[in-house]
Structure 1
Amino acid sequence: MRIELRDTLDADLEVFWQHSADVRVQRMAAITREYHYDREHFDDHWAKARTDPGVLLRTVVADGAVVGHAAVFGPPEEREVTYVIGPDHWGLGIATRALAELVRQEGTRPLHAGAAADNAASLRVLEKCGFTPTGLARDFAMARGEEVDVLLLTLD
């Protein structure tokens, strides 16, 4: 399977919305925001992200199809990674390959990440890309309606 990261196009946003609004994605991510549930908030969020010079945003393409996105955001000393691959493409190694390429493109270290402690798939992706656990936090998981443990990871 050919994986590439490219600049985000307007047409990609509909796929991102489908992923964002998918209850499987919301449950897996656990820590969701209002833009995962409301299209107006979603559009506002992505308009800001796409014009913020501090955000490295890439669309993930697999064999010519848009399958997700990956990004780095935050100030230089607190850069954080995020990524979403649509559920139809889970378990194929796409997230690992996409995150590895994003980390290569970014170059800034350290990079930080967080994932629900029970999100084994995302934790495997992060660890395969060199992130190591550095702490544990609690956060309210809107998608689950309860607080969850969040594993914090760092790539030095």
Structure 2
Amino acid sequence: MIALRRVADTDLPTLFTHQLDAAACHMAAFTSDDPTDRAAFDAHWAKILAKDTVIVRTVIVRDSAGPEQVAGHIASFMRGDEREVTYWIGREFWGKGVATRALQGLLDEVKDRPIFGRAAADNAPSIRVLLKCGFIEDRRERGFANARSCEIEEVVMVLD
């Protein structure tokens, strides 16, 4: 079972560990300047959690055979005048529908439309999550991807 809940301070070490995964960083592409910088991570999260325009949730996986696990996080925030979604799921939960169910849950909570989602153009799994939740391609943009140290194409998707 997948559940969303408010982010607790005790979730942050797991969320930090998720961003240390080199393969996940490459896939996400648009990461912080230095994913290994814990002080920068903590400052970033303090800012996120203090903003009333940001809705951020911890993604929890509950399994009848064991305790709940922090699978990642999902959020909605304002980029200019557009509301966006973003998510990061730990690699051990990839391919199990966790991101899709988490996004469906967040979309049930965040009713603003249109709402946008972005993914590196070669991040097929993330694009697939957005498509499963009803997003369609709106446009493509180019931007500098810290995790790849170069400019890449990004797909911007929208749910009306």
Tell me how far apart the structure 2 counterparts of residues 33 and 65 of structure 1 sit (CA, whole Å). 24
Describe the SS at the equivalent of 1:34. Answer: coil
TM-score by length of 1: 0.95
- Identity of paired residues, percent? 45
Write the mapping of 1:1-156 to structure 2, written as runs, cut at 5 A.
2-34=1-33, 36-63=35-62, 64-74=68-78, 77-156=81-160
Scaled by the length of structure 2, the TM-score of the pair is 0.93
Equivalent-residue separation in structure 1 for 2:2 and 2:141 (angstroms): 33
| Residue identity opposite 1:57 in structure 2 | V
Q: Which runs of 5+ in 1 are unaligned?
A: none
User: What's the CA shift for 1:76?
Assistant: 8.6
Query: Does structure 2 retain, via aligned residues, the 8 Å contact 1:77–1:110?
Result: no
Q: How many residues align?
A: 155
SS of residue matched to 1:13: helix
Q: CA RMSD in A?
A: 1.3
Larger proportion of helix? 1
